[in-house]
Structure 1
Amino acid sequence: MKKRDLAAIGFMTFALFLGAGNLIFPPLMAQQAGENWLIAMGGFLLTAVGLPALTIIVLGRLSSADKLTDALPKWMDRTFWFLVLTTLGPAFVLPRAVTVAYEMGIKPFTDSNLLLPFSVIFCAITLLLALKPGKLLDYIGKIMTPALIAMLSLLVIAALVNPLGTSLPATQDYLDAPAVNGVIQGYMTLDAIAAVAFGWVIITTIRSKGVTCKAALAHYTKWIAFIYIVLMSLCYLAMGYLGATSSTIAANAANGGEILTRYAAGEFGQLGQVLLACITLMACLTTTVGLTNANGEYYKNTYQIPFKRSAIVVTALTAVISNAGLEQIITVSLPAILILCPIAVALILSIIFMPKRIIDAGYQYLVVIVAACFGTIDAFAVLDMLPSAMTTTFNQWLPLFNFHLSWLLPVGIVFGLVHFTPKRMTTATAN
């Protein structure tokens, strides 16, 4: 593969992950962390960037995203991928991306409610770009991403030259344990599960450049993950800097979007709002194209449904849900994502830490069951849906419950136990 194409795929990967949520989350965290924002950001990068990069590398080593669940029972394999791609697609993330693009990119400039025509146009553009997966690298990696980076750089350079404030005092959480809270917030971006979906797009794009050798695929995937790490880390640090220096214009902001909006207006006036609108629209569009493509690839490879048909259905559903009952959809879908994320991370860790003979013997399903059970507890805790008595009990007896990582230790115990499984048992099961 040519170095130019390799760099373009790395740029494309960065753009796929860079949705509006990735832009607005770090400024608020950095503002709350105050003078400790760099320490908090270090922990944040460990999970927000490290986990997705690890996922990309592991999927590259497997040479195909669907091989991640090959050893699971068929019903569990199909259920996992269906839920992942549905919730990351038309049931939750895609409609949210469309509405965020509208709220930050169009709504500030009009008093009319234009969500319906906007969602139709936005989804139509998404469909047109997604229908040519072979051109995805040219659209996103070589055109849209450089434009996105240029716009982000303009805002950040202005902030470096003319910061609009200094760091505020850190809130109590970031005063006591800034790195730990950064790690937790990075995990809660849920980009680790997005990486599982984007694996379909990344590997397909690499193969489209004539790479068929498994070793070469793994090699190129590592370089793509490295490019992603560099670009995404720089982006998060830049957005964090904006939040940390926003005391004059956005002290005690309600969310990161408010910080970015005020910062852009403070640096460039009305032009700043236009710049931020362009950044948001571009970031959301690259994400919707990537997720639509991932859904199409999955249904084509798994159920032999034509790519075009899947893409049309996904974008049509997205346009409808963006306008009707998104809050209800979020209520239903968010718990699913919070549960699926531990399962996805546990599957990735199983490829790294579980002996191959154990995976081949089919014992990987134990990891899924344990991660799903304890991930459900974490999901209900995040959503404040646990009874207070149960919350008190879990706080006292369940390790890492406070950090929404209850699943991690039980999954680690499973990894440890399977190492002692007699070889004759795994051989018999595999046969």
Structure 2
Amino acid sequence: MNRKIVAVTAFALFSLFFGAGNLILPPQLGFKSGNLWWVVAFGFCLSAVLIPILGILAHAKLQGTMFDFAKKVSPTFSLVYCYIVYAISIALPSPRTASVTHEMAIQPIWDSSYLLTSIIYFALVYVFVVNRSKILDVIGKFLTPGILIVLLLIIGATIFNLDFTFGPTEFKSPFSHGILEGYQTFDAIGAVVVGGVIIISINLKETSTSYEVKKSLIRKAGWMAGLGLFLIYTGLIITGALFHDSFDADVSRTSILSGISTETLGNTANLGLSILVGLACFTTAVGIITGTADFIKGRFNDSRLAYTITTIIGCVLGVLVGQFNVGYIIAVAIPALMFIYPITIVLILLNVVPDKYASPKIFKWVVTATILFSIPDFLGSIGHAGAISSLAAWIPLREYHLGWVLPALVVFILGNLVAQKRA
């Protein structure tokens, strides 16, 4: 396989996960992690890099769509899962892009409200989604390289100019905190939703290439993209940790990224980064709502009306949620992520392992166990865990909000042992 094709595919995958909203997470995470930044970074990269890349590898294996990820559980479950994922996507990460844009690109220049920004922002999103403009595709090709260059300069300026001294960590469980913060990137969901689009694109371009060669291409490109994400995320986390005494303890995620940019590169570069992030956020919102509208359109016999109504709903939700600050939206997202992320992770892993270890029965049993043992974490995130707290207390890793992990693993192992004995 041509190395150029591998490199281009790797960059496409990198751009898919390199969301502007994600950039605000690692610096504050590092700032609060102190001398245990490496433990936090490991946890964060596990859920924000490894799992999403495995999602792409699963797509390469399936050569299908998002629906194919869960159809072994049942077609009905898969359809419901798709609806839930799309609903979460237009209700949380899409509005968050407007809030990030306001805090990074608008607020430092104009003293306007979040509401005004979100109204104008999603009015423009509506125009671009309805007209399916190609302009953003062209702009998008320059956004990721631009942001990447600025971030590399920030990381380099920090590492080579600051002494390697760190403060104490604020986290009781740094590793699990890193994992849970990685949920907020929504990248595992992104892998399931958008990964299929990239696979289809590769299939259309490489029509004369065999399935095995295309799968090898995606594997190589996937791991290259993962390495890039790992280096950027880890670099931003260590950068935040090195600035441990430069900001107030309650500094927001957007403020610390802007502050570090100003400290290392100056006001002009920070303004440039803010504009790039704002544009990248906009393209992300357009992509999310377009993808959701396309899905609903497909469910209603390619109805243009269904596409338009879904776009309107997505933009209205964007205005309603996007008028809040980033910290609030991230907090609101926690219950939804505690519910959908464990299911998504398990579906990705089951689709990656060899088929002989992931029969439809195994899918059903493992996903069922995951859902059941995720309930305490979900209820805890909305403040209603009291009713089952005594029952949930004995679940391993429950105190780290990862109570579903061991039960899902045990069910997977026992299910396969039973299947082998019956064979």
One-letter amino acid of the counterpart of residue 85, structure 1: Y
Give the Å deviation of 1:132.
5.2
Query: 1:159 is matched with which residue?
Result: 158
Output the TM-score relative to the length of structure 2. 0.84
8 Å CA contact 2:91–2:321 kept in 1: the answer is no
8 Å CA contact 2:247–2:256 kept in 1: the answer is yes
Identity %: 26
Match of 1:124 among 127, 141, 146: 127
- Partners of 1:262 and 1:330 in 2: CA distance: 20
- Partners of 1:159 and 1:293 in 2: CA distance: 38
- Partners of 1:103 and 1:245 in 2: CA distance: 23
Query: 1:429 is matched with which residue?
Result: none
Give the Å deviation of 1:62.
0.9
- Partners of 2:27 and 2:311 in 1: CA distance: 30
Query: 2:81 is matched with which residue?
Result: 80
Give the Å deviation of 1:61.
0.8
Tell me if 1:196 matches 2:192.
yes
8 Å CA contact 2:35–2:166 kept in 1: the answer is yes
Query: 1:7 is matched with which residue?
Result: 7
Give the Å deviation of 1:263.
1.7
Give the Å deviation of 1:320.
1.7
One-letter amino acid of the counterpart of residue 344, structure 2: A
- Partners of 2:91 and 2:276 in 1: CA distance: 24
- Partners of 1:213 and 1:260 in 2: CA distance: 44
Query: 2:288 is matched with which residue?
Result: 291
- Partners of 1:337 and 1:33 in 2: CA distance: 22
- Partners of 1:411 and 1:279 in 2: CA distance: 41
Aligned-partner SS, 2:108: helix
Structure 2, unpaired ranges of 5+ = none
8 Å CA contact 2:9–2:218 kept in 1: the answer is no
8 Å CA contact 2:397–2:403 kept in 1: the answer is yes
Residues 139 and 356 (structure 1), Cα distance of their counterparts in 2 relative to 1, 3 Å cut: farther
Once the two structures are superposed, residues 339-377 of structure 1 have per-residue CA deviations (whole angstroms, 9 ceiling, x without a partner) of 1111111112223457548625x5522322222222222
- Partners of 1:122 and 1:353 in 2: CA distance: 39
1:251-400 equivalences in 2 (<5 Å):
251-296=248-293, 298-299=295-296, 304-305=301-302, 312-324=308-320, 335-353=335-353, 355-356=355-356, 359-360=359-360, 362-387=361-386, 390-391=388-389, 393-395=391-393, 397-400=394-397
Residues 248 and 401 (structure 1), Cα distance of their counterparts in 2 relative to 1, 3 Å cut: closer
CA RMSD for the aligned pairs?
3.4
Once the two structures are superposed, residues 293-327 of structure 1 have per-residue CA deviations (whole angstroms, 9 ceiling, x without a partner) of 54355446655426x76665444333222222556
Give the Å deviation of 1:247.
3.1
- Partners of 1:370 and 1:344 in 2: CA distance: 13
- Partners of 1:344 and 1:408 in 2: CA distance: 12
Output the TM-score relative to the length of structure 1. 0.83
- Partners of 1:227 and 1:167 in 2: CA distance: 30
- Partners of 2:174 and 2:367 in 1: CA distance: 31
- Partners of 1:184 and 1:412 in 2: CA distance: 19
One-letter amino acid of the counterpart of residue 193, structure 1: I
- Partners of 1:34 and 1:339 in 2: CA distance: 29
Give the Å deviation of 1:399.
0.7
Report how many aligned residue pairs link the two structures.
414
Query: 2:399 is matched with which residue?
Result: 402
One-letter amino acid of the counterpart of residue 414, structure 2: L
Tell me if 1:46 matches 2:46.
yes
Query: 2:109 is matched with which residue?
Result: 109
